[in-house]
Amino acid sequence: MLASLAAITSIVSAQPPDADATVRRNLEAGQAALQRGELAEAEKNFLKVTAIAPQDLRAHVNLGVVYMRQKNWKRALEELRTSQKLAPEIPGIRFNIGLVYYRQREYHDAIAPFESVLRDKSDWPQARHLLGLCYMQDERFADATAALEPLWTSLNGDQSYLYELALSAGKAGQHELEERALARLLEVGQESAPLHLLFGKTYLSRNEDERALTELEKAAAIDPKLPMLHYHLGIVYKRKHDYDKAKEEFLKDVAIEPEVAYSYDELGNICLGLDQNEEARRYFEQALQRNSKLPASWYGLAKIDRADKRYPDALKALDEAKTLAPQSASVHYLRAQTLMQLGRKAEAETEFAAVRRLQQEKLDILEQQIMGTTYRDPQLATEQK
């Protein structure tokens, strides 16, 4: 992705012949520092430019690049939005806006920028691939399939792509394409542990748990330290209500990848279901330290705080969960109860009304995920570099 950033920078960094000497000097110094990876020095020089020339496109785009590399997403977005206003015709700026949202796991918000890029430049493969993944996260599987299928010629040797295409096509009911992608995946995978993991995840998405378990066990026999393998084995055992075995598998995943949040999230849910609240709290907090955008962990913390009669803390956690899962009737219901206990009856009635509306509209996706009755692959969001 950083190659795209460099390409945009080169587009907008050409110096006009009448450029102010100080602006030009600082731009050149900032660009050189950026190329050396000296991000603080680059930022200092580009900020000097914006202080002198607030409308300088080159400085704002380069600051966006600096902040993206620093993972300072808020400031990156501010600079890129300024750049977009100055040059709405440059699709690369909009691509990076989408990328900022994507990196923050705000997939729904990333869709519009990526769509706008492809309207101007339909042959941009990175934008098309990321748009397809965002559609998948948004559960727009027909749109995801339409976005991903044109990449077949260039990516049909990429196992992750074939899995993504098979999954989206299967969810969209395009089973001929699903089978073609799976057949190609089998052809290029050559009995590897990652291949069996991908097939295991495919079967999980179809709710074919026994077939998933067979594939995941094959992967474990080849490479028991494969990242996310034990997480998915834990999901299978959780669905079987074998919570001791599930917990064992999630702990194995934590030992292999201690900085990945998802198994901590699952461990918290298992412990909460077993009334092991303090252990559950510890796991939820560890999950959120690694990824603050896990609604199930916020919801779990809220349930624990409410049980302990720590109602203000429960409400804070529910506010986070509501932001991340606004269509969850469970979140709205627990929030309504907590507001009632805080004496905020009018707000509670608003939440109860939301519960009634949501219960009529659809099943609670968050509750299904917590209970293990539905499956979303967290690696879809983390495999892209």
Q: pLDDT tens across 293-312, in order?
A: 999 999 999 999 999 999 99
Show the CA angle centred on residue 58, arms to residues 34 and 55, nearest 5°.
Answer: 135
Residue 67 lies in a domain: yes
Range of the domain at 21: 1-134
Helix (H) or strand (E) holding 206: none
Closest of 74, 13, 64, 17 to residue 43, by C-alpha? 64
State the average pLDDT over residues 27-37: 93
Residue 370 lies in a domain: no
Residue 9 has pLDDT above 60, yes or no: no
pLDDT value, residue 382: 53
pLDDT value, residue 361: 61
Residue 47 lies in a domain: yes
pLDDT value, residue 327: 86
What CATH number should be reported for the domain holding residue 100?
1.25.40.10
Q: Is 46 within 8 Å of 65 (Cβ atoms)?
A: no
> Can you tell me the distance from the alpha carbon of 17 to that of 2, in angstroms, rounded to the nearest whole number?
29
State the average pLDDT over residues 185-191: 86
Please give the residue that has the higher pLDDT: either 385 or 66.
66
Residue 59 lies in a domain: yes
Sign of CA dihedral 65, 67, 69, 73: negative
pLDDT value, residue 195: 92
State the average pLDDT over residues 225-233: 95
Residue 228 has pLDDT above 60, yes or no: yes
| 8-state DSSP, 16 | P
Residue 288 lies in a domain: no
- Give long-range contacts, CB 8 A cutoff, 24+ apart: 189-197: 189/159, 191/222, 192/222, 193/218, 193/219, 193/220, 193/222, 193/223, 193/226, 193/229, 194/159, 194/219, 194/226, 195/159, 195/219, 196/222, 197/226, 197/228, 197/229, 197/232
Q: How confident is the model at residue 363 (pLDDT cuts 50, 70, 90)?
A: low
Residue 12 has pLDDT above 50, yes or no: no
Residue 27 lies in a domain: yes
> Can you tell me the distance from the alpha carbon of 181 to that of 6, in angstroms, rounded to the nearest whole number?
33
Among 91-105, 180-194, 260-274, the minimum mean pLDDT is found in 180-194
Query: Residue ranges of the alpha helices (H) in 37-106?
Result: 39-52, 57-69, 73-86, 91-103
Residue 342 lies in a domain: no
Closest of 144, 142, 121, 140 to residue 131, by C-alpha? 144
Q: Is 66 within 8 Å of 34 (Cβ atoms)?
A: yes
State the average pLDDT over residues 227-238: 95
CB neighbourhood size of 131 (10 A): 27
Q: How confident is the model at residue 373 (pLDDT cuts 50, 70, 90)?
A: low
Residue 376 has pLDDT above 50, yes or no: yes
pLDDT value, residue 311: 96
| 8-state DSSP, 15 | P
Q: How many domains does the chain have?
A: 1
Q: How confident is the model at residue 364 (pLDDT cuts 50, 70, 90)?
A: low
Mean of the per-residue pLDDT values for the chain?
Answer: 90
Residue 129 has pLDDT above 60, yes or no: yes
pLDDT value, residue 358: 83
Residue 384 has pLDDT above 80, yes or no: no
Query: Using CB atoms within 10 A of its CB, is residue 248 exposed (0-12), middle (13-18) or buried (19+)?
Result: middle
Q: Which residues contact 209 (CB under 8 A, 6 or more apart)?
A: 203, 236, 239, 240
Closest of 7, 110, 106, 18 to residue 62, by C-alpha? 7
Q: Is 245 within 8 Å of 237 (Cβ atoms)?
A: yes
pLDDT value, residue 191: 82
**pTM (2 d.p.):** 0.78
**Chain position carrying tokens 């997480």:** 231
Amino acid symbol at 351:
E
> Can you tell me the distance from the alpha carbon of 261 to that of 378, in angstroms, rounded to the nearest whole number?
10
> Can you tell me the distance from the alpha carbon of 166 to that of 253, in angstroms, rounded to the nearest whole number?
25
State the average pLDDT over residues 129-134: 97
Among 98-102, 143-147, 370-374, the minimum mean pLDDT is found in 370-374
pLDDT value, residue 14: 45
Residue 150 lies in a domain: no
Residue 150 has pLDDT above 60, yes or no: yes
